[in-house]
């Protein structure tokens, strides 16, 4: 039987070029200033970084600005021993463009955009059995991500904004059949599609240099859906096989922040809630039940279903501080530090699955240089570093778990990540 090998080989070749998706800004934050301040920004972001944190703050930008940068991350994760993982090397591009309108609308509307592009892939996902020990964390940074937003200065210290996160997803098909010469061949078709999620936010300025902010992120899913049809095999009838699932899931998020935005000592404190209970799991059923054309419902059949992930909602807390030293008129030297914590969305892996999503802490630092008038119209450079700690735990398997499961009788998890990068921006 050569057809299984041919189909799998065709799919593997197709998958090397482009497979599903992930969201690096959800894991590491977006923008070197924010990433150095504990990934805060709902009330304190500046310039292009606000397109992700809170698009309302784009309206603070008064001159057009373009930013470019580099970002890298490496992972060291353990589950009863080291698990091999790939790192991230990516480019960053962002900008903020005030819309020139006359009269009372002047300096009210600002467009922003941001891109994060890995150098060696478009999107990637590994399709593993859930019994295989694996972390979701490394694959969640393996994707091109884009964001656009519009910020509006309403007046009286109130700003509002709306934006969109865009992520690559994948749809495709594989047709394997015997041709007119009696040889087995395959036709592969794949399409990169976009997945969208809205972002919205509002901020209110408080007297004496303080600001409060609230931001909403809709859930963002990077899906893959591949149908494999096998035909013309004589007496052998093979039903359509689906390789489908969610390679990336950024949960619905609601976050509020209170920040000091003026003076030589600035900082921010933020808390948020993330709806990880909506996570649908890594994979969908390989064989799907036929649709009942009379009721348009999927009947109950014997097709096996993946194990429910049973994730739970999480809380997230962030804190950051920035110290500004005026070296001379128009030149400001900046030092930053921060901390971020998110509780564990993944449950203890007591059943057959060995998919880990643990609580994490990120200790961050950074520094920067802002040059403005009278020296120049605007130039800045920022650096950041992060140490992410994966808070391990012990996963005790139930007695009903099969003896061949690699997680029996227990798994000890843990690890860390290191990330760093730089961006430079110029006003024009």
β 210-217/220-230 pair status: unpaired
Shortest CA distance to 21 belongs to which of 165, 228, 129, 200?
A: 165
Collapsed DSSP state (helix, strand, coil) of residue 296: coil
Other residues' Cβ atoms within 10 Å of the Cβ of residue 178: 14
- Reading the block at residue 84, the tokens are 């091999």
pLDDT of 390: 95
The CATH number covering residue 358 comes to: 2.40.160.60
Q: How many CB atoms lie within 10 A of CB 334?
A: 18
How far, in Å, CA of 157 to CA of 375, rounded? 29
Mean pLDDT, 10 residues at a time, over the chain (428 residues)?
Answer: 41 34 77 96 95 96 95 93 86 95 91 91 70 84 86 96 86 77 76 85 96 96 81 73 80 97 96 93 74 62 73 96 95 97 93 91 97 91 96 92 91 95 95
* Spatial separation of the C-alpha atoms in residues 415 and 115, rounded to whole Å: 28
* Cβ contacts of 105-108, under 8 Å, gap ≥ 24: 107/62, 107/153, 108/59, 108/152, 108/153
Domain of residue 177, residue span: 3-427
Q: What is the bridge-based pairing of β-strands 241-250 and 379-390?
A: unpaired
- Residue entry with tokens 């007496």: 235
CB 184 within 8 A of CB 178: yes
Q: Which residues of 349-369 are buried (b: 16+ CB within 10 A; e: fewer)?
A: bebbbbbbbbbbebebbbbbe
Number of C-beta neighbours around residue 53 at 10 A: 30
Checking phi first, is residue 396 left (phi over 0); if not, alpha (psi -120 to 50) or beta?
A: beta
Q: Rounded CA gap, 221 and 223, in Å?
A: 6
Q: Are strands 184-206 and 158-178 parallel, antiparallel or unpaired?
A: antiparallel
The DSSP-derived string for 205-221 is EETTTEEEEEEEE--EE
Measured CA to CA, the distance from residue 76 to residue 85 in angstroms comes to 7
Sign, CA dihedral 217-123-65-34, equals positive
What is the spatial distance between Cα 279 and Cα 400, in angstroms, rounded to a whole number? 25
Residue (of 331, 204, 203, 323) closest to 263 by Cα position: 323
How confident is the model at residue 295, as a pLDDT?
Answer: 65
Burial status of residue 283 (CB atoms within 10 A of its CB: 0-12, 13-18, 19 or more): buried
Q: Are 347 and 312 within 8 A, CB to CB?
A: yes
Note the pTM of the prediction, 2 decimals: 0.84
Distances in Å between the Cα of 7 and the Cα atoms of 2, 106, 232, 288, 330 are 9, 60, 14, 19, 63
| Cα 213 to Cα 255: distance, rounded to the nearest angstrom | 8
pLDDT of residue 1: 39
So what's the pLDDT on residue 3?
A: 43
Class of residue 183 by CB neighbours under 10 A (exposed 0-12, middle 13-18, buried 19+): exposed
Number of domains in the chain: 1
Q: What tokens appear for 138 in the block?
A: 């490394």
């Amino acid at each position: 039987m050569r057809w299984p090998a041919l189909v799998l080989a065709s799919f593997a070749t197709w998958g090397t070029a482009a497979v599903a998706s992930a969201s690096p800004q959800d894991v590491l934050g977006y923008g070197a200033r924010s990433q150095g301040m504990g990934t805060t920004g709902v009330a304190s972001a500046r310039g292009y970084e606000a397109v992700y944190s809170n698009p309302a703050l784009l309206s603070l930008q008064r001159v057009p600005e373009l930013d470019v940068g580099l970002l890298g991350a490496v992972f060291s994760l353990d589950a009863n021993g080291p698990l091999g993982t790939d790192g991230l090397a990516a480019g960053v591009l962002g900008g903020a463009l005030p819309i020139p309108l006359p009269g009372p609308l002047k300096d009210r509307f600002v467009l922003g955009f941001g891109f994060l592009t890995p150098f060696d892939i478009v999107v990637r996902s590994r399709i593993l059995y859930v019994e295989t020990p694996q972390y979701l964390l490394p694959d969640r940074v393996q994707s091109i991500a884009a964001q656009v937003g519009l910020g509006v200065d309403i007046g009286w210290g109130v700003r509002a904004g709306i934006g969109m996160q865009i992520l690559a997803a994948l749809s495709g098909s594989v047709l394997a059949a015997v041709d007119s010469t009696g040889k087995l061949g395959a036709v592969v078709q794949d399409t990169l599609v976009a997945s969208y999620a809205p972002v919205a936010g509002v901020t209110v300025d408080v007297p004496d240099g303080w600001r409060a902010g609230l931001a909403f992120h809709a859930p963002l899913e990077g899906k893959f859906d591949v149908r494999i049809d096998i035909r013309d095999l004589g007496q052998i009838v093979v039903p359509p096989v689906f390789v489908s699932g969610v390679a990336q899931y950024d949960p619905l998020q609601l976050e509020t922040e209170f920040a000091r935005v003026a003076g030589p000592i600035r900082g921010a404190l933020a808390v948020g809630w993330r709806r990880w209970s909506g996570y649908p799991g890594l994979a969908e059923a390989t064989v799907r039940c036929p649709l009942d054309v009379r009721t348009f419902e999927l009947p109950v059949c014997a097709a096996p279903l993946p194990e429910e992930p049973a994730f739970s909602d999480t809380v997230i807390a962030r804190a950051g501080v920035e110290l500004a030293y005026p070296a001379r008129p128009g030149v400001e030297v900046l030092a930053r530090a921060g901390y971020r914590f998110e509780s564990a969305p993944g449950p203890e892996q007591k059943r057959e699955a060995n998919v880990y999503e643990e609580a994490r802490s990120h200790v961050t630092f950074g520094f920067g240089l802002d040059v403005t008038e009278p020296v120049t119209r605007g130039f800045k450079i920022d650096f950041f570093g992060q140490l992410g700690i994966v808070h391990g735990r012990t996963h005790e398997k139930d007695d009903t778990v099969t003896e061949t499961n690699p997680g029996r009788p227990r798994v000890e998890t843990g690890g860390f990540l290191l990330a760093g990068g730089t961006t430079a921006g110029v006003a024009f």
